[in-house]
Amino acid sequence: MKSSLVVVVTIVAASFILNNPVIAQTSPSSTEAPKTGWPSLNPGGGYPEDLRLKQKRSECRKQAKTQKVSFLNRRRFIRDCMSH
């Protein structure tokens, strides 16, 4: 009798936990359009700021490579180059 009661209580508790609408994921209610990183879809026309930073970082990496900056000092060199 006790074991069947435990089984029934366990099943009821599990079904309540698994069917709880609070736990279920819902979609965000944002009305804003998602921002895109493509230049052709950018309303300003030019490249977004993040692409400019990526290009600058790429140039700084190339400079570090041509100057043969050691692996341990390269991060500092790129950080300093990005600030200029």
Per-residue model confidence as pLDDT tens digits over 27-66: 666 666 555 555 555 555 556 777 888 899 999 999 999 9
Yes or no: say if 81 and 63 are a contact pair by the CB < 8 Å rule. Answer: yes
Yes or no: say if 47 and 39 are a contact pair by the CB < 8 Å rule. Answer: yes
Rounded to two decimals, the pTM is 0.44
Burial class (CB in 10 A: 0-12, 13-18, 19+), 47: middle
Q: What is the pLDDT at residue 6?
A: 80
Q: What is the pLDDT at residue 62?
A: 95
